[in-house]
Amino acid sequence: MNLAVFSAKPYDREFLSKANAALASTEGGQQHTITFHDFALSEETVSLAHGADAVCGFVNDVLSEPVLRALRDGGVRAVLLRCAGYNNIDLAAAESLGLFVANVPSYSPEAVAEFALALIQTLNRKTHRAYNRVREGNFNLDGLMGRTLHGKTVGVVGTGKIGIAFARIARGFGCRLLAYDPFPGEAFRQFGDYVSLEELLAQSDFVSLHCPLTEGTTHIINVRTLGLMKEGAMLVNTSRGGLVHTESVIAALKSRHLGGLALDVYEAEGGLFYHDHSAEIIQDDELMRLMTFPNVLVCGHQAFFTEEALTEISECTIRNLGDFSNRIPCKNSLVKYGPVAAGPELIRQELVR
């Protein structure tokens, strides 16, 4: 199959090419022909997918109805997301256009969970500030005091794969764990108790978000819920930027009600993250305001970024494409895709007819 990969970075080229070659030799599949585009998929760039059987997108590629329609009209039959979240694709539109869509639902949840813990400890123990200070020969400890994590209450919002991996690590630090999830699972109960979101916010010293971005979770952290948080508590978001209402967290930081904020994801990260803007005037005033706080840490959506996770993401993406191409029902399919049984060749024939 011809696969067009958008938003491709050098590491995407390396890991996807490696997976394409490795799976063809170990699993007897065919090597796909991959074209890499370093720009994002959008209405402006969708024509570049012309001639491809499948496209592969990442978290900030635009997969709206007009883009999906243009892809379908240009001959694309499959959309592969090389990420877990799928908030950037209009799944209903994809399904009605007859497109196959698959994601990578699980890849090293520990990679993201470990990063969330790293952010908590950086923010809490202020190692980001100590690093800069020491490099200038300043070994003064004023302003660097943190809090011992042992015995603190940590609130986990969303106890799926990453939330559970996070809970396991936090438990190792000796934290008391609370969780909120509208679909509570057995796995978390060995680490702590399920409570309402309100109770979690009221009791937690650290709150870590691990739920997906949906209509129901958009701005789950807002003026009201921030007001429920314990005075001086810290918030960590490694999930999706849209979970947090940025203006409200800025206000909560200014009033000192919120004791710290660590973001790996940001509401308006599209077009900004994954690119070097260091020589430009960044126009996003809210992001720039956030970065002026000494108790705010912002990273560019890198929680997933480990060798192990990239290997798993690439292999799963190529396997998803293999399932589509070989007419095998795909366990990672996100839409009802009837024609899979018939296979892409037949669909093409039908279209020609």
Does residue 13 have an active-site annotation? no
Q: Which 8-state DSSP code applies to residue 262?
A: E
Angstrom distance (rounded) from CA 66 to CA 43: 7
Task: Give CA–CA dist 267/157, Å, rounded.
Answer: 18
Q: Show Cβ contacts of residue 106 under 8 Å, excluding neighbours closer than 6 positions.
A: 84, 161
Among 95, 110, 114, 181, binds ligand NAD (CB under 6 A): 181
The one-letter amino acid code at 288 reads M
The secondary element (H helix, E strand) that includes residue 181 is none
Under rule CB under 6 A, residue 84 binds ligand NAD = yes
> In 190-241, which ranges are E strands?
192-194, 206-209, 234-237
Binding mask 233-262 for ligand NAD (x = CB under 6 A): -----xxx----------------------
Q: At what angle do helices 127-135 and 109-125 cross, to 10 degrees?
A: 60
CB-based burial label for 179 (10 Å; 0-12, 13-18, 19+): buried
Among residues 82, 176, 267, 269, which one is catalytic?
Answer: 269
Number of residues that bind ligand NAD (CB under 6 A): 29
* Shortest Å, Cβ 126 to ligand NAD: 22
Residue tagged active-site, from 77, 82, 176, 240: 240
Least gap, CB of 316 to ligand NAD (angstroms): 13
Contact criterion met (CB below 8 Å) for 140 and 129: no
C-beta of 225 vs 248, nearer to ligand NAD? 225
Please enumerate in sequence order all residues whose Cβ is within 8 A of that of 108, keeping only pairs 6 or more positions apart, or say none.
304, 306, 308, 309, 312
Active site annotation includes 240? yes
For residues 268-307, which are near ligand NAD according to CB under 6 A? 301, 303-304
Stretch that binds ligand NAD, among 140-148, 151-159, 280-288, 323-331 (CB under 6 A): 151-159
Does 216 help bind ligand NAD (rule: CB under 6 A)? yes
- At 78 the three-state DSSP class reads strand
Write down the least CB distance from residue 31 to ligand NAD, Å: 28
Tokens matching residue 261: 């904020």
Site string for ligand NAD, 183-212 (x = CB under 6 A): x--------------------------xxx
DSSP per position, 97-125: TT-EEE----S-HHHHHHHHHHHHHHHHH
CB of 186 to ligand NAD, least distance (A): 12
110 binds ligand NAD (CB under 6 A): no
Question: Cβ closer to ligand NAD: 152 or 301?
Answer: 301
Q: Does 152 bind ligand NAD (CB under 6 A)?
A: no
Nearer to ligand NAD, 60 or 325 (CB): 60
- Which residue ranges make up the site for ligand NAD (CB under 6 A)? 84-85, 109, 112, 157-163, 180-183, 210-213, 216-217, 238-240, 264-265, 301, 303-304
Which residues are identified as catalytic? 240, 269
